């Protein structure tokens, strides 16, 4: 703690042999960060410039990919600086900002996936009403709500954490997630209940809604024509795979990190990096390969000579 400036500094204790491999870590993570920005931005660009992709489904995909870039930007710049620094430290205030942005964007991802599930449900199960229900106003409300609701709900716990007395100053991780609670001298029951309500609102309820929606879609599709079943499989499976992948990574963050299970530091680092490394790259690969219209435009962009 800096008494002169009255600033509390925290140390990231989750790094493994950073002094020995700092440049290796930096080059690898910097390369991945650039890949994340480029791969997500290319698909967003294609959706932006091609009128046939100006549909709610593709707009939600673009929002999801933008969210991935914001999510990565919350973590990577500070992580890259830490690799090249003698001390991996962060002020308590900056840590709380990173904590707030991290979980706000995680919540936004779940809500965007829920909006995509609803869009697919209306498209497949109520095709005649689709233009009316999924209007520009509806899409705009879904997008704004997806980013604002988690951010607003996390303001209170973040502000209250800023006032809590700290008894520890070493974070068991490489960025500020829920391990920040482990630094507090007292973890109140009220704080636990409040966090569970937020988790219910921004993660569990959207996941249950998504599973219910896709169950309804597959039941109705099974009873319908082969064309409807094919459409359901092509447009819904990529969303489901992304949801399962992201939910598993979030489950690790909430359960394992929250319980502070006694895992080796290397294992913790690998699992933590999965969320900030694997998932932001997984989204553009999944949607770029599995969504037929996006895949077609990608081929035209990168292999114009082969497309007649």
Residue (of 303, 238, 301) closest to 58 by Cα position = 238
Q: Which residue shows structure tokens 């520009």?
A: 136
Higher pLDDT pick, 96 / 4: 96
pLDDT for 140 equals 95
- Residue 232 pLDDT more than 80? no
pTM above 0.85? yes
Q: Give the Å distances, CA to CA, from 211 to 34, 151, 165, 231.
A: 33, 24, 40, 18
pLDDT for 2 equals 52
Average pLDDT of span 232-257: 77
Q: What are phi and psi of 84, to 5 degrees?
A: -95, 0
Order across the sheet with 89-91: list the strands: 89-91, 9-12, 170-171
> Domain 9-302 carries which CATH code?
1.20.1070.10
What's the CA gap between 21 and 286, in Å, rounded? 31
DSSP H or E segment with residue 11: strand 9-12
What's the CA gap between 25 and 84, in Å, rounded? 9
Average pLDDT of span 24-43: 94
- Residue 3 pLDDT more than 50? no
What's the CA gap between 288 and 10, in Å, rounded? 40
- Residue 64 · residue 112 · CB < 8 Å: yes
pLDDT in tens, 164-217: 888 888 888 889 988 888 888 877 777 778 888 888 888 899 999 998 998 888
Q: What percent of the chain has pLDDT over 90?
A: 40
Average pLDDT of span 264-293: 80
DSSP code, position 7: B
Reported confidence tier of residue 73, pLDDT bands at 50, 70, 90: very high
pLDDT for 101 equals 95
Reported confidence tier of residue 137, pLDDT bands at 50, 70, 90: very high
44-51: long-range contacts, CB 8 A cutoff, minimum separation 24: 46/294, 46/297, 46/298, 46/301, 47/294, 50/297
What are 27's strand-pairing partners? none
Residue (of 102, 103, 100, 110) closest to 79 by Cα position = 102
């Amino acid at each position: 703690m800096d008494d002169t400036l009255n600033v509390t500094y925290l140390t990231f204790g989750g790094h493994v042999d950073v002094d020995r491999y700092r440049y290796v870590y930096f080059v690898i993570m910097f390369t991945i960060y650039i890949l994340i920005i480029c791969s997500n931005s290319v698909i967003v660009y294609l959706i932006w410039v091609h009128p046939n992709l100006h549909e709610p489904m593709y707009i939600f995909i673009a929002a999801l990919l933008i969210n991935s870039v914001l999510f990565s930007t919350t973590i990577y710049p500070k992580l890259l600086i830490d690799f090249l620094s003698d001390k991996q430290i962060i002020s308590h205030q900056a840590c709380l900002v990173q904590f707030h942005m991290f979980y706000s964007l995680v919540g936004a991802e779940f809500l965007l996936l829920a909006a995509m599930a609803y869009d697919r449900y209306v498209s497949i199960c109520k095709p005649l009403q689709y233009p009316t229900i999924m209007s520009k106003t509806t899409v705009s409300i879904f997008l704004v709500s997806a980013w604002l609701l988690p951010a607003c709900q996390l303001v209170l716990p973040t502000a209250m954490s800023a006032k809590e007395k700290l008894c520890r100053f070493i974070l068991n991780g490489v960025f500020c997630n829920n391990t920040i609670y482990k630094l507090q001298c007292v973890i109140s029951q009220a704080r636990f209940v409040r966090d569970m309500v937020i988790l219910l609102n921004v993660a569990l309820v959207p996941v249950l809604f998504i599973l219910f929606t896709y169950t309804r879609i597959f039941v109705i599709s099974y009873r319908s024509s082969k064309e409807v079943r094919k459409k359901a499989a092509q447009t819904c499976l990529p969303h489901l795979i992304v949801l399962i992948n992201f939910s598993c990574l979030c489950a690790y963050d909430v359960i394992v990190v929250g319980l502070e299970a006694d895992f080796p530091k290397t294992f913790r680092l690998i699992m933590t990096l999965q969320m900030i490394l694997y998932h932001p790259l997984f989204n553009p690969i999944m949607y770029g390969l599995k969504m037929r219209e996006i895949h077609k435009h990608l081929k035209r962009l990168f292999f114009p000579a082969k497309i007649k």
